[in-house]
């Protein structure tokens, strides 16, 4: 895998990133690579990056035996070092070099979009598993699965040191395909800088992730999404996405396949038949029509399925295998359906305008409910626009609303809920304890009603004041309520 530092400095110079390197470090061969001072050890190559980086972190790494460091400035610590113009891009270059470019040894499909990344990633993995069991890794919002091992994920797209170590682990585990989500933050922070994607999927883009810790403006957010396409060979694009012309401009020089309901698309969707048990639909591809049946519900999921189906066609997977891969599929925390005594319960990760709108529309289309009970909150330190959108959508589509905790971070749960409640005139309760809020909604529901539990999906933690605090999960909260009320 790793070579000598002389090889890395040559690479950094080629990329226009190298400022200087300490004399005599060309022959050094580090034993490990890290950006976390707590993980530094004898012979480590330590990278100084992050908005809140402090000199003390480097000093701690040096005390633990770090061999050298890389940074944008000389911290005055007695340790050989490399200085660069952009530490984030340099960290990606260095991580790829240290782990032996493992991404190049696999077929990597990247998926971006405001809504649907995780669902589409799991759909494509399910198709690939049907074609070639045990050969596909997945890096998603829900988990990092490298073929034989699975970890809970805390970032949609991991930082370079972790990402490249996961690529390496996947290769070593015998995987030759990776399906991964690529977030706008990953592009902004150069987490996948230098990586090539044989296929890139662009699902959609809408107003979200705009605020102090995310993107300064909508233009920046959209630009970061589109910048991903420059790293792809073939791009699969939703014809109905917002900012379509800008997206297409970002595809210049690429092979582009469009999917959607318009007959001019490369992958045409028609004859959608929704039901409480799933969906049937047809996709037109290269002059032929193919019928598909799936356990997933909702028009938006048919669109996610079609994006994955096109990717599978590009990979040369036959229609029968694709049909097998999508027929019975479960996406953790995405449109999970449960039922108790005539009450339908939907657990979904929806946490922004587009995802909420899709869930509400799918519920109305699939169940024609008597009443809709909506349980949700909003993450702390996020855009106020998201809270407004959630409130306005609940006002339009829900009959009863229960506002509660959803990763409040350093903010007060009640304050967040009050912001949302400003946009709601329907019956609305603020219940900070999430399991209690779920119980209240289920207690109030009658046969023929639908209860939507949105925001957490299958997550088993709440992000509170810098900590990931264990949480029972929405699904288990429902199961507990059913047991107590049976």
d(CA 216, CA 436): 36
What are the residue boundaries of the structural domains of the chain, listed by start? 5-98, 102-327, 336-484
**Cβ proximity of 61 and 33 under 8 Å:** no
User: Is residue 114 marked as binding?
Assistant: yes
User: Per-residue confidence at 209, pLDDT binned at 50, 70, 90?
Assistant: low
User: Is residue 113 marked as binding?
Assistant: yes
**Fold (topology level) of 336-484:** 3.90.190
Q: Which tokens sit at 153? A: 């994920």
Q: Which CATH class is domain 5-98?
A: alpha beta
User: Is residue 157 marked as binding?
Assistant: yes
Please report the pLDDT score of residue 156 as a whole number. Answer: 87
User: Is residue 117 marked as binding?
Assistant: yes
User: Is residue 156 marked as binding?
Assistant: yes
User: Per-residue confidence at 215, pLDDT binned at 50, 70, 90?
Assistant: low
**Cβ proximity of 324 and 339 under 8 Å:** no
What is the SS3 assignment for 389? Answer: helix
> Is domain 102-327 classified as CATH 3.30.70.2860?
no
Among 29-33, 206-210, 395-399, 418-422, the least confident range: 206-210
User: Is residue 119 marked as binding?
Assistant: yes
User: Is residue 27 marked as binding?
Assistant: no
User: Is residue 32 marked as binding?
Assistant: no
User: Is residue 37 marked as binding?
Assistant: yes
User: Is residue 55 marked as binding?
Assistant: no
Please report the pLDDT score of residue 210 as a whole number. Answer: 54
Tens of pLDDT, residue by residue over 9-54, are 999 999 999 999 999 999 999 999 999 999 999 999 999 998 889 9
Give residue 290's Cα distance to chain centre: 29
Pairing of strands 177-181, 107-112: parallel
What is the SS3 assignment for 7? Answer: helix
- Are domains 102-327 and 336-484 of this chain identical in fold? no
């Amino acid at each position: 895998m790793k070579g000598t530092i002389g090889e890395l400095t040559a690479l950094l110079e080629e990329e226009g990133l190298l400022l200087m390197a300490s004399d005599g470090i060309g022959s050094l061969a580090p034993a490990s690579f890290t950006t976390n001072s707590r993980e530094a050890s004898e012979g480590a190559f330590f990278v100084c990056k992050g908005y809140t980086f402090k000199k003390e972190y480097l000093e701690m790494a040096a005390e633990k035996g770090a061999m050298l460091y890389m940074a944008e400035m000389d911290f005055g610590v007695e340790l050989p070092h490399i200085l660069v113009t952009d530490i984030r891009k340099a960290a990606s270059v260095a991580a790829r070099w240290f782990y032996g470019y493992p991404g190049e040894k696999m077929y990597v499909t990247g998926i971006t979009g405001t809504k649907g990344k995780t669902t589409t990633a799991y759909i494509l993995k399910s198709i690939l598993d049907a074609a070639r069991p045990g050969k596909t890794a997945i890096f998603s919002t829900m988990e990092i699965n490298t073929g034989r091992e699975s970890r809970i994920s805390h970032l949609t797209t991991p930082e370079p040191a972790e990402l490249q170590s996961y690529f390496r682990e996947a290769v070593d585990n015998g995987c030759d395909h990776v399906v991964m989500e690529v977030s706008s933050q990953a592009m902004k922070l150069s987490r996948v800088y230098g990586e090539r994607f044989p296929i890139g999927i662009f699902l959609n883009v809408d107003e979200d992730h705009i605020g102090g810790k995310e993107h300064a403006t909508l233009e920046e957010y959209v630009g970061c999404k589109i910048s991903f396409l420059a790293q792809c060979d073939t791009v699969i694009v939703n014809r109905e996405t917002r900012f379509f012309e800008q997206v297409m401009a970002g595809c210049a020089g690429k092979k582009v396949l469009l999917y959607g309901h318009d007959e001019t698309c490369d992958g045409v969707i028609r004859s959608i038949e929704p039901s409480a048990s799933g969906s049937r639909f047809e996709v037109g591809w290269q002059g032929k029509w193919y019928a598909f049946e799936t356990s997933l519900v909702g028009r938006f999921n048919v669109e996610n399925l079609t994006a994955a189906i096109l990717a599978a066609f590009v990979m040369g997977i036959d229609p029968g295998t694709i049909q097998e891969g999508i027929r019975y599929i479960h996406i953790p925390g995405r449109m999970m359906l449960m039922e108790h005594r005539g009450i339908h319960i939907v657990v979904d990760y929806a946490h922004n305008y587009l995802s909420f709108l899709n869930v509400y529309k799918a519920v109305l289309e699939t169940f024609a409910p008597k009443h809709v009970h909506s349980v949700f909150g909003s993450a702390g330190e996020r855009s106020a626009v998201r809270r407004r959108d959630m409130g306005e959508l609940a006002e339009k589509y829900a009959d009863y609303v229960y506002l509660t905790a959803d990763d409040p971070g350093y903010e007060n749960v009640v304050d967040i809920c009050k912001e949302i409640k400003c946009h709601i005139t329907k019956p609305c309760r603020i219940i900070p304890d999430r399991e209690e809020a779920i119980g209240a909604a289920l207690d109030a529901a009658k046969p023929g009603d639908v209860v939507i539990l949105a925001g957490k999906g299958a997550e088993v933690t709440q992000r509170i004041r810098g900590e990931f605090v264990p949480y029972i999960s929405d699904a288990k909260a429902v199961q507990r309520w059913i047991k107590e009320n049976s």
